[in-house]
Amino acid sequence: MRFVLPIAVFAAGLAAWELVVRIRDVPPYVLPAPSVIFLTLIKDWAVLSQSLAVTLLTTLEGFIAASIGGIALALLFNQSKWVEYTLFPYAVVLQVTPVIAIAPLLLIYLEQQTAVVVCAFIVAFFPVLSNTTLGLNSVDRNLAGLFQLYGASPPQTLRFLKLPAALPYILGGLRIAGGLSLIGAVVAEIAAGTAGAGSGLAYRIAESGYRLNIPRMFAALLLLSLAGIVIYGVLALVSHLVLRRWHESALGKEA
Amino acid sequence: MVENRPSPTVEASLTALAVSLRGVTKVYDNGVMALGPLDLAVRKGEFISLLGPSGCGKSTVLRLIAGLSAQSSGTVRMSRHEGPRQPGHGIGFVFQEPTLMPWTSVRENVRLPLRLGGVSKPEGRARADAALASVGLADFADAVPRELSGGMKMRVSLARALVTDPDILLMDEPFAALDEITRFRLNNDLLALWRSLGKTVIFVTHSVFESVYLSQRVVVMTARPGRIQADIRIETVEPRSEEFRTSTAYSDYCRKVSAALAPSYQGQSML
Protein backbone atom coordinates (compact mmCIF):
# COMPACT_ATOMS: atom_id res chain seq x y z
CA MET A 1 0.00 0.00 0.00
CA ARG A 2 2.89 2.33 0.80
CA PHE A 3 4.12 2.01 -2.76
CA VAL A 4 0.80 1.57 -4.56
CA LEU A 5 -0.74 4.84 -3.38
CA PRO A 6 1.91 7.30 -4.59
CA ILE A 7 2.19 5.41 -7.87
CA ALA A 8 -1.57 5.53 -8.35
CA VAL A 9 -1.58 9.27 -7.75
CA PHE A 10 1.31 9.67 -10.18
CA ALA A 11 -0.47 7.65 -12.88
CA ALA A 12 -3.70 9.60 -12.40
CA GLY A 13 -1.78 12.88 -12.66
CA LEU A 14 -0.09 11.78 -15.86
CA ALA A 15 -3.39 10.65 -17.38
CA ALA A 16 -5.06 13.96 -16.50
CA TRP A 17 -2.09 15.88 -17.93
CA GLU A 18 -2.18 13.87 -21.17
CA LEU A 19 -5.94 14.34 -21.43
CA VAL A 20 -5.88 18.11 -20.89
CA VAL A 21 -3.11 18.56 -23.46
CA ARG A 22 -4.97 16.50 -26.06
CA ILE A 23 -8.45 17.95 -25.51
CA ARG A 24 -7.27 21.57 -25.37
CA ASP A 25 -4.77 20.88 -28.16
CA VAL A 26 -1.98 22.65 -26.24
CA PRO A 27 1.10 23.11 -28.46
CA PRO A 28 4.21 21.18 -27.22
CA TYR A 29 6.27 24.38 -26.80
CA VAL A 30 3.75 25.52 -24.20
CA LEU A 31 3.19 22.21 -22.44
CA PRO A 32 4.23 18.89 -23.96
CA ALA A 33 2.12 15.82 -23.19
CA PRO A 34 3.78 13.07 -21.11
CA SER A 35 3.79 10.81 -24.17
CA VAL A 36 5.71 13.43 -26.14
CA ILE A 37 8.22 13.83 -23.32
CA PHE A 38 8.70 10.08 -23.25
CA LEU A 39 9.20 9.93 -27.02
CA THR A 40 11.70 12.80 -26.82
CA LEU A 41 13.57 10.91 -24.14
CA ILE A 42 13.95 7.95 -26.50
CA LYS A 43 14.67 10.07 -29.60
CA ASP A 44 17.27 12.25 -27.86
CA TRP A 45 18.72 9.44 -25.77
CA ALA A 46 22.14 9.70 -27.39
CA VAL A 47 22.52 13.35 -26.36
CA LEU A 48 20.72 13.06 -23.06
CA SER A 49 22.49 9.92 -21.86
CA GLN A 50 25.85 11.54 -22.52
CA SER A 51 24.79 14.60 -20.52
CA LEU A 52 23.47 12.36 -17.77
CA ALA A 53 26.85 10.64 -17.56
CA VAL A 54 28.62 14.01 -17.31
CA THR A 55 26.32 15.23 -14.52
CA LEU A 56 26.52 11.96 -12.64
CA LEU A 57 30.31 11.99 -12.82
CA THR A 58 30.39 15.55 -11.46
CA THR A 59 27.97 14.57 -8.72
CA LEU A 60 30.02 11.53 -7.81
CA GLU A 61 33.26 13.50 -7.68
CA GLY A 62 31.64 16.20 -5.57
CA PHE A 63 30.09 13.57 -3.30
CA ILE A 64 33.37 11.74 -2.77
CA ALA A 65 35.20 14.99 -2.09
CA ALA A 66 32.45 16.06 0.34
CA SER A 67 32.46 12.70 2.14
CA ILE A 68 36.22 12.56 2.57
CA GLY A 69 36.51 16.27 3.31
CA GLY A 70 33.59 16.34 5.74
CA ILE A 71 34.68 13.27 7.68
CA ALA A 72 38.34 14.31 7.73
CA LEU A 73 37.48 17.80 8.94
CA ALA A 74 35.18 16.40 11.64
CA LEU A 75 37.97 14.10 12.84
CA LEU A 76 40.32 17.06 12.93
CA PHE A 77 37.76 19.08 14.93
CA ASN A 78 37.40 16.15 17.29
CA GLN A 79 41.14 16.08 18.00
CA SER A 80 41.30 19.66 19.16
CA LYS A 81 38.68 22.09 20.38
CA TRP A 82 40.87 24.98 19.22
CA VAL A 83 40.93 23.77 15.64
CA GLU A 84 37.16 23.46 15.81
CA TYR A 85 36.71 26.96 17.22
CA THR A 86 39.04 28.37 14.59
CA LEU A 87 37.66 26.67 11.50
CA PHE A 88 34.01 25.95 12.20
CA PRO A 89 32.79 29.50 11.45
CA TYR A 90 34.27 29.22 7.96
CA ALA A 91 32.43 25.98 7.35
CA VAL A 92 29.23 27.74 8.36
CA VAL A 93 29.95 30.73 6.12
CA LEU A 94 30.55 28.39 3.21
CA GLN A 95 27.29 26.65 3.97
CA VAL A 96 25.05 29.72 4.36
CA THR A 97 26.34 31.57 1.30
CA PRO A 98 24.14 30.44 -1.61
CA VAL A 99 26.20 28.34 -3.96
CA ILE A 100 24.54 29.95 -7.00
CA ALA A 101 26.20 33.20 -5.89
CA ILE A 102 29.61 31.60 -5.44
CA ALA A 103 29.53 29.62 -8.70
CA PRO A 104 30.25 32.53 -11.10
CA LEU A 105 33.32 33.46 -9.05
CA LEU A 106 34.59 29.91 -8.99
CA LEU A 107 34.11 29.74 -12.75
CA ILE A 108 36.37 32.73 -13.17
CA TYR A 109 39.18 31.40 -10.99
CA LEU A 110 39.00 27.69 -11.69
CA GLU A 111 38.86 25.50 -14.73
CA GLN A 112 35.25 24.81 -15.57
CA GLN A 113 35.15 21.10 -14.67
CA THR A 114 37.01 21.77 -11.43
CA ALA A 115 34.70 24.66 -10.56
CA VAL A 116 31.62 22.50 -11.06
CA VAL A 117 32.98 19.76 -8.80
CA VAL A 118 33.96 22.36 -6.18
CA CYS A 119 30.39 23.67 -6.21
CA ALA A 120 29.00 20.19 -5.64
CA PHE A 121 31.54 19.78 -2.82
CA ILE A 122 30.64 23.07 -1.14
CA VAL A 123 26.94 22.26 -1.07
CA ALA A 124 27.39 18.69 0.08
CA PHE A 125 30.20 18.71 2.62
CA PHE A 126 28.49 20.56 5.45
CA PRO A 127 25.92 17.90 6.38
CA VAL A 128 28.71 15.31 6.41
CA LEU A 129 30.83 17.54 8.63
CA SER A 130 28.10 18.47 11.08
CA ASN A 131 26.64 14.96 11.28
CA THR A 132 30.04 13.35 11.79
CA THR A 133 30.88 15.93 14.47
CA LEU A 134 27.59 15.21 16.19
CA GLY A 135 28.24 11.47 15.98
CA LEU A 136 31.77 11.71 17.36
CA ASN A 137 30.44 13.77 20.27
CA SER A 138 27.58 11.35 20.97
CA VAL A 139 29.75 8.57 22.34
CA ASP A 140 28.34 6.93 25.47
CA ARG A 141 30.12 8.51 28.46
CA ASN A 142 30.45 5.25 30.32
CA LEU A 143 31.91 3.49 27.27
CA ALA A 144 34.41 6.32 26.99
CA GLY A 145 35.20 5.79 30.67
CA LEU A 146 35.71 2.09 30.02
CA PHE A 147 38.21 2.86 27.25
CA GLN A 148 39.99 5.24 29.61
CA LEU A 149 40.10 2.60 32.35
CA TYR A 150 41.74 0.10 30.02
CA GLY A 151 44.28 2.68 28.86
CA ALA A 152 43.10 2.91 25.23
CA SER A 153 45.30 5.07 23.00
CA PRO A 154 43.64 7.86 20.97
CA PRO A 155 43.82 5.84 17.72
CA GLN A 156 42.27 2.82 19.49
CA THR A 157 39.49 4.97 20.91
CA LEU A 158 38.85 6.41 17.47
CA ARG A 159 38.79 3.07 15.71
CA PHE A 160 36.96 0.90 18.21
CA LEU A 161 34.67 3.47 19.81
CA LYS A 162 34.21 6.83 18.14
CA LEU A 163 33.95 5.81 14.50
CA PRO A 164 31.55 2.90 15.06
CA ALA A 165 29.43 5.05 17.40
CA ALA A 166 29.37 7.86 14.82
CA LEU A 167 28.61 5.56 11.89
CA PRO A 168 24.81 5.99 11.91
CA TYR A 169 25.27 9.76 11.97
CA ILE A 170 27.90 9.67 9.22
CA LEU A 171 25.64 7.58 7.03
CA GLY A 172 22.77 10.00 7.67
CA GLY A 173 25.05 12.85 6.58
CA LEU A 174 26.09 10.99 3.44
CA ARG A 175 22.46 10.38 2.55
CA ILE A 176 21.79 14.12 2.62
CA ALA A 177 25.07 14.85 0.85
CA GLY A 178 24.19 12.56 -2.08
CA GLY A 179 21.15 14.61 -3.06
CA LEU A 180 22.95 17.87 -2.33
CA SER A 181 25.91 17.08 -4.56
CA LEU A 182 23.48 16.60 -7.44
CA ILE A 183 21.96 19.99 -6.65
CA GLY A 184 25.41 21.56 -6.45
CA ALA A 185 26.43 20.02 -9.77
CA VAL A 186 23.24 21.25 -11.47
CA VAL A 187 23.54 24.77 -10.08
CA ALA A 188 27.14 25.01 -11.21
CA GLU A 189 26.31 23.65 -14.65
CA ILE A 190 23.61 26.23 -15.11
CA ALA A 191 25.97 28.99 -14.01
CA ALA A 192 28.66 27.57 -16.28
CA GLY A 193 26.27 27.13 -19.20
CA THR A 194 26.11 30.86 -19.72
CA ALA A 195 29.84 31.18 -19.45
CA GLY A 196 30.91 28.64 -22.04
CA ALA A 197 30.68 25.09 -23.29
CA GLY A 198 29.02 22.56 -21.05
CA SER A 199 27.33 19.31 -21.67
CA GLY A 200 25.69 18.20 -18.40
CA LEU A 201 21.97 17.70 -18.01
CA ALA A 202 21.47 21.10 -16.44
CA TYR A 203 23.23 22.64 -19.39
CA ARG A 204 20.84 20.74 -21.70
CA ILE A 205 17.90 22.19 -19.80
CA ALA A 206 19.22 25.73 -20.14
CA GLU A 207 20.07 25.18 -23.79
CA SER A 208 16.69 23.63 -24.61
CA GLY A 209 15.07 26.59 -22.92
CA TYR A 210 16.75 29.04 -25.27
CA ARG A 211 15.67 26.91 -28.22
CA LEU A 212 12.11 26.53 -26.97
CA ASN A 213 12.64 22.77 -27.10
CA ILE A 214 10.30 22.28 -24.15
CA PRO A 215 9.86 18.48 -24.48
CA ARG A 216 13.61 18.01 -24.17
CA MET A 217 13.66 20.28 -21.13
CA PHE A 218 11.10 18.04 -19.49
CA ALA A 219 12.96 14.91 -20.57
CA ALA A 220 16.22 16.22 -19.04
CA LEU A 221 14.35 17.25 -15.90
CA LEU A 222 12.87 13.76 -15.67
CA LEU A 223 16.34 12.22 -15.89
CA LEU A 224 17.64 14.55 -13.15
CA SER A 225 14.79 13.57 -10.84
CA LEU A 226 15.38 9.90 -11.52
CA ALA A 227 19.11 10.34 -10.87
CA GLY A 228 18.31 12.01 -7.54
CA ILE A 229 15.94 9.23 -6.55
CA VAL A 230 18.47 6.53 -7.47
CA ILE A 231 21.26 8.28 -5.54
CA TYR A 232 19.06 8.55 -2.46
CA GLY A 233 17.90 4.96 -2.83
CA VAL A 234 21.41 3.57 -3.15
CA LEU A 235 22.67 5.50 -0.11
CA ALA A 236 19.62 4.52 1.95
CA LEU A 237 20.20 0.89 1.00
CA VAL A 238 23.89 1.03 1.92
CA SER A 239 23.00 2.63 5.24
CA HIS A 240 20.37 -0.03 5.91
CA LEU A 241 22.74 -2.89 5.07
CA VAL A 242 25.51 -1.52 7.26
CA LEU A 243 23.30 -0.82 10.28
CA ARG A 244 20.69 -3.53 10.06
CA ARG A 245 22.15 -5.77 12.74
CA TRP A 246 22.33 -3.24 15.49
CA HIS A 247 21.00 0.27 15.01
CA GLU A 248 17.45 1.24 15.97
CA SER A 249 16.91 3.14 12.73
CA ALA A 250 17.43 0.01 10.63
CA LEU A 251 15.41 -2.37 12.78
CA GLY A 252 11.82 -3.32 12.13
CA LYS A 253 9.17 -1.61 14.28
CA GLU A 254 8.38 -4.77 16.20
CA ALA A 255 12.00 -5.65 16.88
CA MET B 1 41.14 -16.58 34.26
CA VAL B 2 37.93 -18.15 35.47
CA GLU B 3 39.38 -21.46 36.62
CA ASN B 4 38.00 -22.40 39.99
CA ARG B 5 40.36 -21.35 42.66
CA PRO B 6 40.08 -22.67 46.15
CA SER B 7 37.56 -20.68 48.12
CA PRO B 8 39.25 -17.64 49.63
CA THR B 9 39.84 -18.23 53.25
CA VAL B 10 38.32 -14.92 54.14
CA GLU B 11 39.84 -14.66 57.58
CA ALA B 12 43.37 -15.25 56.32
CA SER B 13 43.19 -12.51 53.70
CA LEU B 14 41.74 -9.92 56.07
CA THR B 15 45.12 -8.48 56.87
CA ALA B 16 46.04 -6.93 53.54
CA LEU B 17 44.23 -3.89 52.22
CA ALA B 18 42.97 -3.83 48.65
CA VAL B 19 41.92 -0.19 48.63
CA SER B 20 42.31 2.61 51.10
CA LEU B 21 40.91 6.12 50.92
CA ARG B 22 42.22 8.80 53.27
CA GLY B 23 40.51 12.14 53.71
CA VAL B 24 39.22 12.03 50.18
CA THR B 25 37.04 14.89 48.97
CA LYS B 26 35.58 15.75 45.62
CA VAL B 27 34.54 19.29 44.75
CA TYR B 28 32.90 19.81 41.38
CA ASP B 29 33.99 22.58 39.04
CA ASN B 30 30.91 24.57 40.03
CA GLY B 31 32.08 24.56 43.65
CA VAL B 32 29.60 21.96 44.89
CA MET B 33 31.14 19.70 47.51
CA ALA B 34 30.14 16.23 46.39
CA LEU B 35 32.04 13.98 48.67
CA GLY B 36 33.85 13.66 51.90
CA PRO B 37 36.05 13.96 53.64
CA LEU B 38 35.93 10.20 53.49
CA ASP B 39 38.05 7.42 54.98
CA LEU B 40 37.50 3.90 53.78
CA ALA B 41 39.60 0.77 53.93
CA VAL B 42 38.67 -2.36 52.02
CA ARG B 43 40.46 -5.60 52.72
CA LYS B 44 41.56 -8.00 50.05
CA GLY B 45 38.86 -10.45 49.08
CA GLU B 46 36.19 -8.49 50.92
CA PHE B 47 32.72 -7.85 49.52
CA ILE B 48 31.51 -4.45 50.65
CA SER B 49 28.46 -2.42 49.71
CA LEU B 50 28.27 1.34 49.59
CA LEU B 51 24.75 2.38 50.41
CA GLY B 52 23.32 5.87 50.42
CA PRO B 53 20.72 8.24 49.03
CA SER B 54 21.07 9.27 45.41
CA GLY B 55 23.56 12.05 44.86
CA CYS B 56 25.59 11.16 47.96
CA GLY B 57 28.70 10.41 45.92
CA LYS B 58 28.68 6.59 45.97
CA SER B 59 29.40 6.41 42.27
CA THR B 60 32.04 9.10 42.63
CA VAL B 61 33.89 6.89 45.10
CA LEU B 62 34.06 4.13 42.48
CA ARG B 63 35.18 6.54 39.78
CA LEU B 64 37.94 7.83 42.07
CA ILE B 65 39.16 4.31 42.80
CA ALA B 66 39.09 3.44 39.09
CA GLY B 67 41.01 6.60 38.23
CA LEU B 68 38.20 7.84 35.98
CA SER B 69 37.99 10.98 38.08
CA ALA B 70 40.49 12.77 40.29
CA GLN B 71 39.91 13.57 43.94
CA SER B 72 40.13 17.19 45.04
CA SER B 73 42.12 16.26 48.14
CA GLY B 74 43.19 13.20 50.09
CA THR B 75 44.75 9.99 48.86
CA VAL B 76 43.44 6.91 47.12
CA ARG B 77 45.70 3.88 47.47
CA MET B 78 45.47 0.47 45.98
CA SER B 79 47.38 -2.71 46.62
CA ARG B 80 49.83 -3.39 43.85
CA HIS B 81 48.76 -6.12 41.50
CA GLU B 82 50.96 -9.19 41.72
CA GLY B 83 51.92 -10.98 38.53
CA PRO B 84 52.06 -9.75 34.95
CA ARG B 85 50.73 -6.33 34.01
CA GLN B 86 47.13 -6.46 32.93
CA PRO B 87 44.79 -4.04 31.19
CA GLY B 88 42.79 -1.94 33.64
CA HIS B 89 45.51 -2.05 36.33
CA GLY B 90 43.74 -4.78 38.26
CA ILE B 91 40.34 -3.14 38.18
CA GLY B 92 37.12 -4.34 36.60
CA PHE B 93 34.21 -1.91 36.35
CA VAL B 94 30.55 -2.72 35.93
CA PHE B 95 28.37 0.30 35.19
CA GLN B 96 24.76 0.93 36.06
CA GLU B 97 23.80 0.31 32.44
CA PRO B 98 25.28 -2.66 30.59
CA THR B 99 27.34 -0.14 28.54
CA LEU B 100 27.96 -2.54 25.68
CA MET B 101 28.98 -1.61 22.17
CA PRO B 102 25.81 -2.29 20.16
CA TRP B 103 27.64 -2.64 16.86
CA THR B 104 29.59 -5.73 17.67
CA SER B 105 29.09 -9.25 19.01
CA VAL B 106 28.92 -10.24 22.65
CA ARG B 107 32.30 -11.98 22.33
CA GLU B 108 33.96 -8.86 20.90
CA ASN B 109 32.42 -6.78 23.68
CA VAL B 110 33.94 -9.05 26.29
CA ARG B 111 37.26 -9.20 24.44
CA LEU B 112 37.54 -5.39 24.32
CA PRO B 113 39.71 -4.88 27.45
CA LEU B 114 42.16 -7.53 26.20
CA ARG B 115 42.17 -6.08 22.71
CA LEU B 116 42.97 -2.63 24.10
CA GLY B 117 45.70 -4.20 26.20
CA GLY B 118 47.31 -5.83 23.18
CA VAL B 119 46.40 -9.44 23.94
CA SER B 120 46.50 -11.55 20.76
CA LYS B 121 43.24 -12.36 19.02
CA PRO B 122 43.18 -16.14 19.59
CA GLU B 123 44.06 -15.79 23.25
CA GLY B 124 41.61 -12.91 23.68
CA ARG B 125 38.79 -14.88 22.10
CA ALA B 126 39.49 -17.90 24.26
CA ARG B 127 39.54 -15.80 27.41
CA ALA B 128 36.39 -13.96 26.38
CA ASP B 129 34.62 -17.27 25.80
CA ALA B 130 35.78 -18.54 29.18
CA ALA B 131 34.52 -15.36 30.87
CA LEU B 132 31.18 -15.71 29.10
CA ALA B 133 30.95 -19.31 30.24
CA SER B 134 31.57 -18.23 33.83
CA VAL B 135 28.46 -16.00 33.72
CA GLY B 136 26.40 -18.67 31.98
CA LEU B 137 26.36 -17.13 28.51
CA ALA B 138 28.60 -19.52 26.59
CA ASP B 139 25.94 -19.97 23.90
CA PHE B 140 25.49 -16.28 23.21
CA ALA B 141 29.01 -15.28 22.16
CA ASP B 142 27.96 -14.55 18.58
CA ALA B 143 24.76 -12.64 19.41
CA VAL B 144 24.67 -8.85 19.28
CA PRO B 145 23.70 -7.05 22.50
CA ARG B 146 20.23 -6.02 21.35
CA GLU B 147 19.27 -9.67 21.00
CA LEU B 148 19.77 -10.19 24.75
CA SER B 149 17.50 -9.46 27.70
CA GLY B 150 18.41 -6.84 30.30
CA GLY B 151 19.73 -9.44 32.73
CA MET B 152 21.82 -11.11 30.04
CA LYS B 153 23.32 -7.78 28.98
CA MET B 154 24.33 -7.20 32.59
CA ARG B 155 25.98 -10.64 32.63
CA VAL B 156 27.95 -9.70 29.51
CA SER B 157 29.03 -6.52 31.26
CA LEU B 158 30.15 -8.61 34.23
CA ALA B 159 32.03 -11.02 31.97
CA ARG B 160 33.82 -8.06 30.39
CA ALA B 161 34.85 -6.78 33.81
CA LEU B 162 36.15 -10.25 34.75
CA VAL B 163 37.99 -11.00 31.52
CA THR B 164 41.18 -9.25 32.61
CA ASP B 165 41.16 -11.20 35.88
CA PRO B 166 41.17 -8.03 38.00
CA ASP B 167 41.86 -8.04 41.73
CA ILE B 168 39.13 -5.52 42.41
CA LEU B 169 35.65 -5.48 40.96
CA LEU B 170 33.84 -2.12 41.13
CA MET B 171 30.10 -2.34 40.56
CA ASP B 172 27.95 0.77 40.24
CA GLU B 173 24.31 -0.13 40.93
CA PRO B 174 24.61 -2.88 38.34
CA PHE B 175 21.25 -4.53 38.94
CA ALA B 176 19.18 -1.44 39.73
CA ALA B 177 17.32 -1.46 36.43
CA LEU B 178 16.41 -5.14 36.50
CA ASP B 179 13.22 -6.80 37.71
CA GLU B 180 13.38 -8.35 41.15
CA ILE B 181 13.49 -12.00 40.08
CA THR B 182 16.31 -11.39 37.64
CA ARG B 183 18.08 -9.39 40.32
CA PHE B 184 17.82 -12.20 42.86
CA ARG B 185 19.28 -14.65 40.38
CA LEU B 186 22.14 -12.32 39.48
CA ASN B 187 22.77 -11.73 43.20
CA ASN B 188 23.23 -15.45 43.75
CA ASP B 189 25.40 -15.83 40.67
CA LEU B 190 27.54 -12.89 41.72
CA LEU B 191 28.03 -14.40 45.19
CA ALA B 192 29.02 -17.72 43.62
CA LEU B 193 31.53 -15.98 41.35
CA TRP B 194 32.93 -13.99 44.24
CA ARG B 195 33.41 -17.16 46.27
CA SER B 196 35.14 -19.00 43.46
CA LEU B 197 37.29 -16.13 42.17
CA GLY B 198 38.20 -14.43 45.42
CA LYS B 199 38.00 -10.87 44.11
CA THR B 200 37.58 -7.78 46.20
CA VAL B 201 34.14 -6.38 45.36
CA ILE B 202 32.96 -2.84 46.02
CA PHE B 203 29.27 -2.78 45.24
CA VAL B 204 27.30 0.46 45.07
CA THR B 205 23.58 0.15 45.60
CA HIS B 206 20.60 2.07 46.89
CA SER B 207 18.86 -1.08 48.03
CA VAL B 208 19.12 -1.95 51.71
CA PHE B 209 18.03 -5.53 51.00
CA GLU B 210 20.55 -6.11 48.25
CA SER B 211 23.41 -4.68 50.31
CA VAL B 212 22.61 -6.90 53.30
CA TYR B 213 22.15 -10.01 51.19
CA LEU B 214 25.39 -9.64 49.26
CA SER B 215 28.02 -8.08 51.38
CA GLN B 216 30.18 -8.77 54.36
CA ARG B 217 30.18 -5.08 55.20
CA VAL B 218 27.63 -2.41 54.48
CA VAL B 219 29.02 1.12 54.45
CA VAL B 220 26.18 3.61 54.83
CA MET B 221 26.82 7.08 53.45
CA THR B 222 25.18 10.41 54.32
CA ALA B 223 23.51 12.76 51.87
CA ARG B 224 25.75 15.12 49.90
CA PRO B 225 28.55 15.73 50.66
CA GLY B 226 28.83 11.99 51.21
CA ARG B 227 30.54 10.83 54.37
CA ILE B 228 30.43 7.56 56.19
CA GLN B 229 27.43 7.33 58.47
CA ALA B 230 27.82 3.72 59.59
CA ASP B 231 29.92 0.68 58.86
CA ILE B 232 27.96 -2.47 59.56
CA ARG B 233 29.34 -6.01 59.40
CA ILE B 234 26.94 -8.64 58.15
CA GLU B 235 27.81 -11.95 59.75
CA THR B 236 25.96 -15.08 58.82
CA VAL B 237 26.47 -18.64 57.75
CA GLU B 238 28.54 -18.83 54.59
CA PRO B 239 27.95 -19.62 51.80
CA ARG B 240 24.78 -17.57 51.73
CA SER B 241 21.76 -18.94 50.01
CA GLU B 242 18.14 -18.05 49.46
CA GLU B 243 17.40 -19.16 53.01
CA PHE B 244 19.32 -16.16 54.30
CA ARG B 245 16.91 -13.89 52.44
CA THR B 246 13.98 -15.07 54.53
CA SER B 247 15.79 -15.49 57.85
CA THR B 248 15.24 -13.33 60.91
CA ALA B 249 18.95 -12.50 60.99
CA TYR B 250 18.51 -10.99 57.53
CA SER B 251 15.57 -8.84 58.54
CA ASP B 252 17.38 -7.74 61.69
CA TYR B 253 20.32 -6.57 59.61
CA CYS B 254 17.95 -4.83 57.19
CA ARG B 255 16.34 -3.00 60.10
CA LYS B 256 19.76 -2.00 61.45
CA VAL B 257 20.98 -0.74 58.07
CA SER B 258 17.72 1.10 57.40
CA ALA B 259 18.01 2.81 60.77
CA ALA B 260 21.54 3.91 59.90
CA LEU B 261 20.33 5.20 56.56
CA ALA B 262 17.34 7.09 57.96
CA PRO B 263 19.12 10.31 59.05
CA SER B 264 20.37 10.84 55.51
CA TYR B 265 16.93 11.22 54.02
CA GLN B 266 14.76 12.32 56.94
CA GLY B 267 14.11 16.01 57.10
CA GLN B 268 14.75 16.33 53.40
CA SER B 269 11.91 17.79 51.44
CA MET B 270 10.53 15.61 48.67
CA LEU B 271 11.22 18.46 46.29
When pLDDT is averaged across residues B209-226 and rounded to a whole number, the result is 88
Contacts of B110 in chain A (CB under 8 A): none
pLDDT at A61: 94
Do the Cβ atoms of B144 and A246 come within 8 Å? yes
Rounded Cα distance between A174 and A127, Å, is: 8
One-letter-per-residue 3-state SS of A120-164: HHHHHHHHHHHHHHHHHHCCCHHHHHHHHHCCCCHHHHHHHHHHH
- Provide the percentage of residues in chain A whose pLDDT is more than 90: 53
B68 close to A (CB below 8 A): yes
When pLDDT is averaged across residues A191-198 and rounded to a whole number, the result is 61
Do the Cβ atoms of A151 and B104 come within 8 Å? no
Nearest-by-Cβ selection for A152 from B101, B102, B116 = B116
pTM: 0.82
User: Which of A104, A105, A73, A107 lies closest to A91 in space, CA to CA?
Assistant: A73
Nearest-by-Cβ selection for B87 from A150, A160, A164 = A150
Do the Cβ atoms of A150 and B112 come within 8 Å? yes
A82 close to B (CB below 8 A): no
Rounded Cα distance between A170 and B174, Å, is: 32
pLDDT at A194: 54
Q: Which of B59, B101, B110, B114 is the best substitution to test chain A (most A C-beta atoms within 10 A)?
A: B101
Q: Are B137 and B106 in contact (CB under 8 A)?
A: yes
B91 close to A (CB below 8 A): yes
Quick check: B4 pLDDT over 60? no
Nearest-by-Cβ selection for B99 from A140, A152, A167 = A140
Q: What is the pLDDT of residues A63-101, one digit of tens each?
A: 999 999 999 999 999 888 888 889 889 888 988 888 888
Q: Report phi then psi at B219, rounded to 5.
A: -105, 115
When pLDDT is averaged across residues A141-158 and rounded to a whole number, the result is 90
Q: Are A244 and B143 in contact (CB under 8 A)?
A: no
A167, closest residue in chain B (CA to CA) = B103
Nearest-by-Cβ selection for B144 from A164, A167, A245 = A245
Do the Cβ atoms of A246 and B103 come within 8 Å? yes
Q: Which of B116, B156, B157 is the best substitution to test chain A (most A C-beta atoms within 10 A)?
A: B116
Rounded Cα distance between B19 and B92, Å, is: 14
SS3 B169: strand
pLDDT at B242: 81
Compute the half-sphere exposure of residue A15: CA atoms within 13 Å on the CB side of its CA.
6
When pLDDT is averaged across residues A114-138 and rounded to a whole number, the result is 92
Q: Are B212 and B259 in contact (CB under 8 A)?
A: no
Q: Please give the helix or strand (H or E) that residue B66 lies within, else none.
A: helix B58-66
* Confidence category of residue A230, pLDDT binned at 50, 70, 90: very high
Rounded Cα distance between B187 and B193, Å, is: 10
Compute the half-sphere exposure of residue B11: CA atoms within 13 Å on the CB side of its CA.
2
Alpha-carbon distance A149 to nearest alpha carbon in chain B (angstroms) = 5
- Dihedral (Cα; A105, A108, A114, A120), 10-degree rounding: 20
Do the Cβ atoms of B145 and A246 come within 8 Å? yes
Q: What is the pLDDT of residues B174-204, one digit of tens each?
A: 998 889 888 998 999 999 999 888 889 999 9
Is the predicted ipTM greater than 0.85, yes or no? no
Q: Are strands B47-51 and B73-78 parallel, antiparallel or unpaired?
A: unpaired
Nearest-by-Cβ selection for A246 from B96, B116, B146 = B146
How high does pLDDT run on average in chain B?
84
Rounded Cα distance between B41 and B21, Å, is: 6
B142 close to A (CB below 8 A): no
Quick check: A251 pLDDT over 80? no
